[in-house]
Chains A and B, each alone.
Chain A
Amino acid sequence: MELDKIEEKDLQMGLANQQVFAETLEALAAEDSSIIAVTSDSRGSGKLVPFGQKFPSQMVEVGIAEQNLVGVAAGLASAGKKTFAISPACFLTARALEQIKNDVAYSDNPVKLVGISAGVSYGALGTTHHSLHDFAVLRAINNIIILAPADNYETEMAVRLAASLDQPVYMRFGKKNMPFLQEENNQNFEIGKGRTVHQGDDMTIIATGETVYPAWQAARALREDHDRQVKVISMHSIKPLDTRILDELALAGKPIITVEEHMVNGGMGEACASYLFQKGAKNPFCIMGIPDEYTITGSQLEIFAHYGLSKEGIMAKAKSMLK
């Protein structure tokens, strides 16, 4: 079925991406005893209780101690283990940032860092539990791949690909069930390559992670209600960024909106803007994300709606740029 023919109600709802992460890791561990999951009292929220039961010798628990989580993971990876360090993204990428910078990236120990309940998945728990800084801080560190898969397909591919790589990787996953955003010819997950989930040539929305779905919804509504054709790209690979696709967009010169569950400062949108501006692109351009202010609390969807990261908010912004 071509994507153009898919109605929103036809979208197949999947699982939470972090559930798919856990199941994929289980499948990998069953085939490869060098796969190790390191947790910081986080196996429950990481959906890794079954992993621990099936592969007790492949799980290392460090307790609530994120610095040690990453340091120990670096040691395990240095000794040849395919090591996944799993912790809420908010703690993993702030509390243990120096360990990520030095023990993983600088020492080139190929740990796979897995930030669970990322962005505002823990929306009602407040800023302590939000990770709206992780792209920005990790983008500024050499030698780490940053991935934010949108759906279950991208999640499984990202985990399998990361396990096969001898490089540090950071992946972030959310708690909410996600639909499969697929069309016939886009089953081609590659690091450093965006995935088109909705076709269109009036303008482009580049989204990442769990904001790809509302971007898709907005594009669908714009087509149905306003006959405007909006391309939606899942930029699951924040670093390396898909510069080939950005070159194409620059050439076309049409408006671009970026959408992310992250502060506008230093995130995916700014990465795209930096590349495009230096290439001399003249596209009308808007970054949508969490603004630099005291973040409100609520459910993830309420926070998305508050900051315009919903179908309606993205539609409104797109319409204003299409005029």
Chain B
Amino acid sequence: MHIKMTDKELKLKSVLLRKNLLKYIYQAKAGHTGGSLSCVDILNVLYNRVLHIDPKDSKNPDRDRYIQSKGHCVEALFVTLADRGFFPETDLATLCQYQSHYIGHPTKKVNGVEQNTGALGHGLPIGVGEAIAAKLDQKNHRVFTLIGDGELPEGSNWEAFLAAAHYKLDNLYAILDYNKQQITGDNHEVMNIDSVRVKMEAFGWAVVEVDGHKLSELEQALNNGPLEPGKPNFIIAHTTKGKGVSYMEGNIKWHHGVPSSEQYELALSELSAAEVLI
């Protein structure tokens, strides 16, 4: 079901997706640049190695589900879906324009998007419902949701953490894009979520920590069945906000910063230089 790709080609895909999301943010003069760069490797692995989905049959009831709870990083999702064939990439020329479906958050008007998100702390409860439905129907598909570290304090997440463990939803995967920064600054200054592993284990989840930019580690964590039968899966993906562009990495001004033409060209040249080394 996945397009056959070598590991090297998958790494090159990550660079392409970074270039594409920067291109559309630059053109639209809007977007969540830092967070999209932080989660795009996760999306690359999900859509090219993990999710059983078919762009030509995107409502198949047996498909895997992916719900992007951190909806504001929609640019990473859109370029991944376009690359995977859900819609022509040229559609993204209308990103954030009048009456475009390609808006600043995921909407189901775009082929491949499962739920309308944008308000934070909403993806996981919906995922719990989808995962319970799969269990009730004895179906084998899996449910994935991507949560930002900045949205972790939303109370609805913790309600859903309890419910997922209560219902032993080992078909549910919550991936934390743990770049340790949010719009105001570092997580530990805004609202401390330290020891998230201990917290999640105490909530009854099976937890694994990976380098969220190492594609093989992500694939290993996401593609080998439940981490522990009878427990929901929590993947802590350690990431870097702005990953791949030196002047954006770890710099909070790129949370939703838009590059100037010089900055955009510099970013592309850095990514091209990295591409050669793959």
- Structural contact, B132 and A76, CB atoms closer than 8 A: yes
Cα distance A70–B124 when bound, in Å? Answer: 12
In the complex, the chain B residue whose C-beta lies closest to that of A57 is B136
* Most A-side CB within 10 Å, residue of B115, B116, B128, B160: B115
Report if A194 contacts B (CB, 8 A): no
A71 CA to B123 CA, complexed, in Å: 8
A107 located at the interface, meaning its Cβ lies under 8 Å from any Cβ of chain B in the complex: yes
Partner of A71, one of B116, B129, B166, B167: B129
Given A63-B162, A65-B162, A68-B159, A74 and B116 touching (CB < 8 A)? no
Contact B133 A71 (CB under 8 A): no
A75 touches B61 (CB 8 A): no
| Shortest beta-carbon distance from A249 to chain B in Å | 38
Q: Does A317 contact B (CB under 8 A)?
A: no
With A68-B156, A72-B128, A75-B128 already in contact, the answer to whether A102 and B122 are too (CB < 8 A) is: yes
Q: Tell whether, in the assembled complex, residue B156 and residue A67 are in contact, meaning their CB atoms are under 8 Å apart.
A: yes
Contact yes or no, B136 A75, CB < 8 A: no
Chain A 49-93 interface mask (CB, 8 Å, partner B; 1/0):
000000001001011010110111111111111010000000000
Given contacts A67-B155, A71-B126, contact A79 B163 (CB under 8 A): no
Q: Which residue of B lies closest to A75 (CB)?
A: B129
Is the C-beta of B134 less than 8 angstroms from some C-beta in chain A? yes
Asked if A300 is at the interface of the complex by the 8 Å CB criterion, the answer is no
**What residues of B have a CB within 8 angstroms of the CB of A68 in the complex?**
125, 128, 156, 159-160, 162-163
Chain B interface residue count, Cβ-Cβ cutoff 8 angstroms: 31
Asked if B131 CB lies within 8 Å of chain A CBs, one says yes
Taking a contact as CB atoms under 8 Å apart, the answer to whether A62 and B115 are in contact is no
Within 8 A of B (CB), among A223-268: none
Q: Are A71 and B125 in contact (CB under 8 A)?
A: yes
C-alpha gap A68/B130 in the complex (Å): 13
B130 touches A107 (CB 8 A): no
Across the two chains, which residue of chain A brings its CB closest to B117? Answer: A102
Say yes or no: A71-B156 contact (C-beta < 8 A), given A62-B163, A78-B114, A107-B108. yes
Measured in the bound complex, the distance between the Cα atoms of B118 and A119 in whole Å is 31
Evaluate contact between A72 and B119: CB separation under 8 angstroms.
Answer: no
Determine whether the beta carbon of B129 is less than 8 Å from that of A76: yes
A-B CB contact pairs (8 Å), 17 listed: A60-B132, A63-B162, A65-B163, A67-B125, A71-B156, A71-B160, A72-B125, A75-B125, A75-B128, A75-B131, A76-B129, A79-B129, A102-B122, A103-B115, A107-B115, A107-B116, A109-B115
Query: Would you list the 8 A-B pairs with minimal beta carbon distance, nearest first?
Result: A75-B129, A71-B125, A79-B133, A68-B159, A65-B159, A72-B129, A75-B126, A67-B156
